[in-house]
Structure 1
């Protein structure tokens, strides 16, 4: 087997591993971004814990077909980047969508979340879901509010009873 084929097979194996490991994968067209914009995008993705790669479409196609994700193959045309979210399933979509709002050259193409393939509109909807940390904070806040109100009520009753007994 020649060295070129071995390198390609290793790349396909790497892509397959990343696709399997990721909670969410988002494909985006980045054609027209400047080097400075691309650097800024990569920094934002890195800060969100998202891995961002550009692979040959033919290699991604092979890996996707081996994993049964043939549905993303039509989106692998032209320059396509891939964002892999391992910790937060909404992070790749959220960061790419926020960046695309200010940089019209970046276009969300498709995504895979838990094995389900979504088009660009569904990926944009996914981007609007808050991160896991924000959702947990909101949940805890909703628990705290009734408890705080209850404690305030008990304290008010206690103060009223103390005021009534002082008279």
Structure 2
């Protein structure tokens, strides 16, 4: 049995995690044995994501005190939460891949940058390319019209150079 003081400490820890985290994804870990949970934790840890099995009553109190009352209805059954403090998409990608691989883990819902997301939204988020790839695509999209414009401007100059070269070749022949 956990003492009242220990419960208060756990609630405070969870409150801190909820406020600091870029994303928090609630999962139902039912059916995962120790080996699989350890493997999942290892994968999440590599991405700087913390995976914590929580007691629902304490998580409800922490959520309520953090202004996240809407989490209460999702805190039923065996619950573990993946907290990410850097990349809000990392836990979604890892949990989605793990769920597809073992077909046991179930995503209940997610909280990404303060927005409530359904399991479908989490899966869609996991399927997005990485932030770096999206930035590269956006920059390429912006660069493409500029490159085209430069080519249009260079066209007449290039044509003049080819014409002068043809005249020079004709005179030398």
Q: Which residue of 1 aligns with 2:171?
A: none
The root-mean-square deviation of aligned C-alpha atoms, in Å, is 2.2
Q: Which residue of 1 aligns with 2:67?
A: 68
SS in 2 for 1:33: coil
Deviation at 1:70, TM superposition (A): 2.3
Q: Which residue of 2 aligns with 1:52?
A: 51
Q: Does 1:82 align with 2:88?
A: no
Q: Which residue of 2 aligns with 1:11?
A: 10
Provide the rounded CA distance (Å) in 2 between the counterparts of 1:52 and 1:141.
36
Post-superposition Cα deviations, 1:126-163, rounded to whole Å, max 9, x if no partner, equal: 33333322221221121232333344445554332212
Q: Which residue of 1 aligns with 2:94?
A: 95
Aligned residues: 165
TM-score, normalization by structure 2? 0.81
Provide the rounded CA distance (Å) in 1 between the counterparts of 2:50 and 2:156.
55
- Specify every segment of 5 or more residues in structure 2 that has no aligned partner in the other structure, as ranges: 168-173
Q: Which residue of 2 aligns with 1:35?
A: 34
SS in 2 for 1:109: strand
Provide the rounded CA distance (Å) in 2 between the counterparts of 1:19 and 1:124.
21
SS in 1 for 2:57: helix
SS in 2 for 1:37: helix
SS in 1 for 2:4: helix
Post-superposition Cα deviations, 1:76-101, rounded to whole Å, max 9, x if no partner, equal: 22221101122222222222112211
TM-score, normalization by structure 1? 0.84
Deviation at 1:45, TM superposition (A): 1.8
Provide the rounded CA distance (Å) in 1 between the counterparts of 2:12 and 2:83.
15
Provide the rounded CA distance (Å) in 2 between the counterparts of 1:48 and 1:154.
47
Q: Which residue of 2 aligns with 1:144?
A: 143
Provide the rounded CA distance (Å) in 1 between the counterparts of 2:123 and 2:99.
10
